[in-house]
Amino acid sequence: MKTERPVIFSGIQPSGILQIGNYIGALRYFPLLQDDNQCLYCIVDMHAITVRQDPAKLRHNSRSLAALYLACGIDPKKSIVYIQSHVSAHAELAWILNCFTYFGELSRMTQFKDKSAKHADNINAGLFTYPALMASDILLYQAKAVPVGDDQKQHIELTRDVAIRMNNIYGDDLFIVPEPLIHKTGSKVMSLQEPTRKMSKSDADETFVSMLDAPEIVKKKLKRAVTDSLGRVTYDAQNQPGVSNLLTIISSLTNKPMDALVASYEDKGYGALKADAAEAVIETLGPIQAEHARLMNDTAALDAILKGGAERANVLANRTLDEVKRRVGFTAR
CATH number at residue 287: 1.10.240.10
Is the pLDDT at 149 greater than 90? The verdict is no
pTM: 0.90
Same domain? 108 vs 221? no
In the chain, the number of structural domains is 2
Q: Is residue 143 domain-shared with residue 117, that is, in the same domain?
A: yes
Return the minimum-mean-pLDDT range out of 20-29, 157-166, 309-318: 20-29
* Residue 72 · residue 30 · CB < 8 Å: yes
Domain coverage including residue 224: 205-292
Residue 64 falls within a domain, yes or no?
Answer: yes
248 and 146 housed in the same domain: no
Tell me, yes or no, whether 198 lies in a domain. Answer: no
197 occurs within a structural domain: no
Buried b (16+ CB within 10 A) or exposed e, 97-127: bbebbeeeebeebebbeebeeeeeeeeeeeb
What pLDDT is stored for residue 185 in this prediction? 54
The model's pLDDT over 75-114, given as tens digits with 9 standing for 90+, comes to 999 999 999 999 999 999 999 999 999 999 998 888 777 7
b/e sequence 315-329, b meaning 16+ C-beta within 10 Å: ebbbebbebbbeeee
Question: 69 and 161: one domain?
Answer: yes
Q: Is the pLDDT of residue 1 over 50?
A: no
Shared domain check, 153 and 107: yes
In a domain, 189, yes or no: no
Question: Which residues are annotated as catalytic?
Answer: 115, 198, 201
- In percent, the amount of the chain with pLDDT more than 70 equals 97
Within a domain: 193: no
Is residue 218 domain-shared with residue 120, that is, in the same domain? no
**CATH value at residue 126:** 3.40.50.620
**Does residue 66 sit in the same domain as residue 47?**
yes
C-alpha to C-alpha distance for 274 and 141, rounded to whole angstroms: 43
Question: In this structure, are 157 and 225 located in the same domain?
Answer: no
